[in-house]
Amino acid sequence: APAVFTGTDFYQRSFNPQEYLREFYRLSDSQGQPNTFLMENLRALLKMFSLEGLRGHTLIDVGCGPTIYQLLSACERFQEIIALDYTDQNRRELEKWLKKEVGAFDWRPVVEYVCELEGDREKWAEKEEKLRRKVRQVLKCDVTKANPTEPVALPPADCVVSTLCLEAACEDLATFRSALRNVGALVKPGGHLVMVTVLRETYYAFNNQVFSCLRLEKKEVEEAVEGAGFDVRFSEVQPCPPGDVRADCEAVLSLVARKRASSS
Ligand code: SAH
């Protein structure tokens, strides 16, 4: 594990989006081994975005990084999507895919896999177009700020999704809890928070760079979500197979919570 916390400056300087995508977002690795981490997360996202009430006008993706997998089932249920991330290069990499620029990451195998889970593998091109149409803004954010999109004030959304971001962005549990309150404030009362979080991970590495991760227990995440004004509706743990040199994650938590009315 790295001795020091890798904060926003380190992300801006050292996070290479193309290497990140190559390392973690291909369906199978160079030896042809399936990417079970990704496949399980896609299944969990489909399950969560199929729950009753998970629909509405606006969805905000917090700490989107250069990835779109977290939006593939979500885009069937929301009209407009706003994607947020701290680093310039990650937002730029996402824009490349949105605008079909040369050199953009090829998400097709992942989109096909999700379409197959949803019942029709042949709908991949349609889903890609739908998602591109729905992503209206890609903005800078910092989850440690009371208003993460400052100076932009976004109207509260029907849903916020955040995958693998807060545990990377927060140095300690107190910061994690306050980041959840900051992110939670982006959701309307009655709206939803959808999270995919690694448990008991202290680092992840790619491209010869090591990134710190806040070591979290399931209960700590749930308590932080509740402390941010939400009721947990769904919470499921998927163990990670041990022996991965790229990260020391023990499990993945998928969680859906609903924001309480402001009076309660
Ligand atoms: N959601 C993507 C990316 C996760 S990697 C996925 O599921 O793969 C972690 C992301 O958190 C990076 O894109 C990084 O830029 C972002 N990040 C780190 N610190 C942040 C902060 N303080 N505020 C917002 N985003 C941050």
Mean pLDDT computed over 207-234: 98
Q: Domain spans of the chain? A: 8-259
What tokens appear for 57 in the block? Answer: 């006008």
Residues 67-101: pLDDT tens digits?
999 999 999 999 999 999 999 999 999 999 999 99
Q: pLDDT grade, residue 242 (50/70/90)?
A: confident
45 lines ligand 1 (CB under 6 A): no
Mean pLDDT computed over 198-210: 97
Q: 123 C-alpha to center of ligand 1: Å? A: 29
149 lines ligand 1 (CB under 6 A): no
- Check whether domain 8-259 has CATH 3.40.50.150, yes or no: yes
Residue type for position 149: T
Q: Name the residue at shortest CA distance from atom 23 of ligand 1.
A: 142
* 209-212 and 203-206 beta bridge pairing: antiparallel
Reduced to 3 states (helix: H, G, I; strand: E, B; else coil), residue 26 is coil
Mutual orientation of helices 108-118 and 124-134 as an angle, nearest 10°?
A: 110
66 lines ligand 1 (CB under 6 A): no
Q: In the chain, where does DSSP find H-type helix?
A: 8-14, 17-24, 36-48, 88-98, 108-118, 124-134, 166-169, 173-184, 218-227
* 56-62 and 157-163 beta bridge pairing: parallel
Q: pLDDT grade, residue 3 (50/70/90)?
A: low
Residues 60-73: pLDDT tens digits?
999 999 999 999 99
Q: What local confidence, expressed as pLDDT, does residue 5 receive?
A: 97
90 lines ligand 1 (CB under 6 A): yes
Q: Report residue 197: phi and psi, to 5°.
A: -135, 135
Q: What local confidence, expressed as pLDDT, does residue 31 receive?
A: 86
Q: What is the residue whose two structure tokens read 């249920």? A: 77
Distances (CA, A) of 22 to 17, 30, 206, 215, 258: 9, 10, 9, 25, 34
Residues 126-178: pLDDT tens digits?
999 999 999 999 999 999 999 999 999 999 999 999 999 999 999 999 999 99
Q: What local confidence, expressed as pLDDT, does residue 2 receive?
A: 62
Distances (CA, A) of 55 to 59, 66, 68, 188, 195: 9, 24, 18, 13, 16
CB 186 within 8 A of CB 157: yes
Q: What local confidence, expressed as pLDDT, does residue 151 receive?
A: 97
Q: What local confidence, expressed as pLDDT, does residue 13 receive?
A: 98
Q: What local confidence, expressed as pLDDT, does residue 243 receive?
A: 87
What tokens appear for 91 in the block? Answer: 């937002």
Residue type for position 162: S
Q: Name the residue at shortest CA distance from atom 20 of ligand 1.
A: 169
168 lines ligand 1 (CB under 6 A): yes
What tokens appear for 47 in the block? Answer: 């399950």
Total length of the chain: 264
Question: Residues annotated as binding site for S-adenosyl-L-methionine?
Answer: 20, 25, 69, 85, 90, 142-143
17 lines ligand 1 (CB under 6 A): no
Q: 169 C-alpha to center of ligand 1: Å? A: 7
Residues 224-237: pLDDT tens digits?
999 999 999 999 99
Q: pLDDT grade, residue 262 (50/70/90)?
A: confident
In which order are the strands placed within the sheet that holds 157-163? 135-140, 78-85, 56-62, 157-163, 187-199, 251-259, 230-239
